[in-house]
């Protein structure tokens, strides 16, 4: 039986291992941590359970299709439900908005709260759908680094409708052209953060992200986000995948033409093919030291990172939902701080995720588990101890004012995650959450391909390569790799 090795048990690595096992390969997954999932993991403190990483779950079919391909019923392994309200939004001037999952309700609420005509909102969302329909086959589901991709009907159709994509505009300009309400423009600008980018730099094509969330909806796994990891890990084990935890891969071995296997602290492990789910920068720097790195690709601007406060809160807040956003007063200034000054804005936007709203056992009775995330730059050597201390004070002051309740006395327990810790725990280069940013209009084409052009049978998946970061795109990267690899004979 042909041997396949996957480096890293992040969500893309898990998906890749499952797809390779279904294809008939004998699969080993090497993971430096003692647990699977990478960023998509969890921990408990004093009766509060916290998802450590990604908190937004959309496009669940990318998870369930893995079970279907294995001939198993997804619901036997993984359960989730759709949210009626995608997110609660709060502004400094006390304006509030409830983003309903139902499109009709959403448009009605926009008209009611922001005074934007319903027809205008529907037109905007219809255009976002057109962008997605024209480009998803090219940008999300195929390798951008193979000639046949550009000879397809889907590509030719996209080129024929290039004017609809708003590529030369920034996302902010596209939203500004569509609406008058500064609040609604800021709300739609926020979608740039889904891939760690700046709405004042990233392309107007990014309005398609609104379509993805609006069309597919927002979901909550009934056992927390970590159950995505747990269910995929269980599926991989059922398919015969072997996991070797607490084992760092030291080098990918090759003969300059073809991959041979990997070297770890336990010795050499032979493989017919290798898939790296490790961030592409350390993959080259640490695992492929003899291979000349693609400098232009690796030197791209990093995406944003984050500081996350995990707070056990001794109170419940009726005004809050699963997903909550507290906007800054000056979004442009906030992103200039992030990407130009490489620091944290004095008035940052705050995201709070509270899974105990849907999974009551995630916090003691009458309490809530707060995942409080603030976008930050990647780690370029900033004084994070000072920045975190300042940020904590600002966040507490802002939330206390917005919620009309002193928050600090309610904190029963606390953990903090910073960009340096993100890099340490997940090998994400500079702690960036999504690999390279998408601030450059050509960013999609500059991402590293899902295969090596020089070493045969060496492949790459995960958020630092094509098509990008976030759970759905990581799962798609594994799917692209799957389509590049023949069945085991």
Residues 168-189 have a mean pLDDT of 96
**Within a domain: 91:** no
Give the pLDDT confidence of 110-165 residue by residue, as tens digits.
Answer: 999 999 999 999 999 999 999 888 877 666 666 555 545 545 566 556 666 665 77
Does residue 261 surpass a pLDDT of 70? yes
Residues 339-364 have a mean pLDDT of 97
Whether 207 and 128 map to the same domain: the answer is yes
Could you tell me the residue range of the domain that residue 106 belongs to?
102-217
CATH number at residue 291: 3.50.50.60
Dihedral-angle region of residue 416 (phi above 0 means left; psi in -120 to 50 means alpha; beta otherwise) = beta
Peptide bond into 185 cis (omega under 30): no
What does the pLDDT read at residue 164? 72
Whether 205 and 233 map to the same domain: the answer is no
**Within a domain: 324:** yes
What does the pLDDT read at residue 139? 66
Whether 311 and 413 map to the same domain: the answer is yes
Which carries the bigger pLDDT value, residue 133 or residue 57? 57
Whether 325 and 235 map to the same domain: the answer is no
What does the pLDDT read at residue 153? 64
How many percent of the chain have pLDDT more than 70?
93
Give the pLDDT confidence of 295-337 residue by residue, as tens digits.
Answer: 988 999 999 999 999 999 999 999 999 999 999 999 999 999 9
Whether 138 and 190 map to the same domain: the answer is yes
Decide which of 191, 217, 243 is a domain's last residue. Answer: 217
What does the pLDDT read at residue 163? 59
**Reported confidence tier of residue 212, pLDDT bands at 50, 70, 90:** confident
Whether 106 and 192 map to the same domain: the answer is yes
**Within a domain: 107:** yes
**Within a domain: 73:** no
* Total number of domains constituting the chain: 3
Write the CB contacts of 341 (distance below 8 Å, at least 6 apart in sequence).
none
Query: Helix 226-238 and helix 61-69: axis angle, to 10°?
Result: 10
**Within a domain: 451:** yes
Decide which of 217, 240, 256 is a domain's last residue. Answer: 217
CA torsion 309-313-317-321 (nearest 10°) is 40
Whether 324 and 405 map to the same domain: the answer is yes
Whether 202 and 275 map to the same domain: the answer is no
Give the pLDDT confidence of 73-120 residue by residue, as tens digits.
Answer: 999 999 999 999 999 999 999 999 999 999 999 999 999 999 999 999
Whether 345 and 410 map to the same domain: the answer is yes
Residues 413-428 have a mean pLDDT of 97
Handedness of CA 462, 41, 350, 415 (dihedral sign): negative
Whether 287 and 332 map to the same domain: the answer is no
Does residue 452 surpass a pLDDT of 50? yes
The pair of structure tokens assigned to 329 is 């007063």
């Amino acid at each position: 039986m042909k041997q396949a090795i996957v480096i890293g048990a992040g969500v893309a690595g898990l998906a890749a291992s499952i797809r390779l096992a279904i294809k008939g390969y004998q699969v080993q997954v090497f993971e430096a941590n003692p647990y699977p999932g990478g960023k998509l993991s969890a921990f408990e403190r004093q009766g509060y359970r916290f998802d450590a990483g990604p908190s937004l779950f959309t496009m669940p079919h990318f998870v369930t299709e893995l079970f279907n391909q294995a001939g198993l019923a997804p619901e036997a392994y993984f359960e989730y439900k759709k949210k009626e309200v995608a997110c609660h939004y709060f502004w400094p001037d006390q304006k509030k908005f409830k983003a309903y999952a139902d499109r009709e309700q959403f448009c009605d609420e926009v008209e009611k709260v922001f005074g934007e005509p319903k027809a205008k909102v529907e037109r905007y969302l219809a255009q976002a759908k057109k962008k997605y329909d024209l480009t998803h086959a090219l940008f999300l589901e195929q390798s951008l680094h193979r000639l046949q991709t550009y000879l397809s009907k889907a590509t030719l159709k996209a080129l024929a409708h290039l004017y609809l994509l708003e590529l030369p505009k920034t996302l902010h300009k596209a939203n500004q052209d569509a609406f008058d309400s500064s609040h609604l423009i800021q709300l739609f600008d926020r979608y740039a953060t889904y891939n760690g980018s700046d709405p004042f730099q990233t392309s107007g094509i990014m309005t398609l992200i609104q379509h993805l969330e609006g069309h597919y909806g927002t979901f909550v796994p009934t056992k927390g986000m970590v159950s995505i990891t747990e269910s995929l890990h269980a599926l991989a084990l059922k398919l015969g995948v072997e996991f070797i935890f607490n084992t760092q891969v030291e080098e990918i071995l090759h003969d300059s033409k073809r991959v041979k296997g990997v070297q770890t602290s336990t010795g050499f492990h032979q493989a017919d093919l290798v898939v790296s789910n490790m961030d592409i920068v350390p993959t080259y720097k640490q695992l492929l030291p003899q291979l000349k790195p693609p400098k232009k690709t690796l030197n791209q601007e990093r995406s944003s990172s984050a500081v996350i406060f995990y707070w056990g809160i001794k109170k419940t807040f009726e005004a809050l939902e699963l997903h909550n956003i507290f906007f800054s007063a000056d979004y442009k200034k906030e992103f200039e701080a992030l990407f130009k000054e490489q620091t944290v804005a004095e008035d940052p936007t705050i995201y709070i995720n509270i899974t105990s709203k849907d999974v009551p056992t995630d916090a003691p009775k009458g309490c809530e588990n707060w995942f409080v995330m603030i976008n930050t730059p990647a780690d370029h050597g900033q004084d994070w101890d000072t920045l975190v201390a300042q940020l904590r004070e600002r966040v507490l002051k802002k939330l206390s004012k917005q919620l009309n309740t002193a928050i600090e006395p309610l904190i029963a327990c606390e953990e903090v995650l910073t960009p340096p810790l993100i890099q340490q725990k997940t090998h994400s280069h500079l702690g960036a959450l999504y690999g390279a940013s998408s601030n450059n209009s050509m960013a999609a084409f500059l991402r590293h391909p899902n295969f090596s052009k020089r070493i045969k049978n060496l492949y790459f998946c995960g958020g630092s390569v094509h098509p990008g970061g976030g759970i759905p795109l990581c799962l798609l990267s594994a799917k692209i790799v799957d389509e590049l690899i023949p069945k085991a004979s």
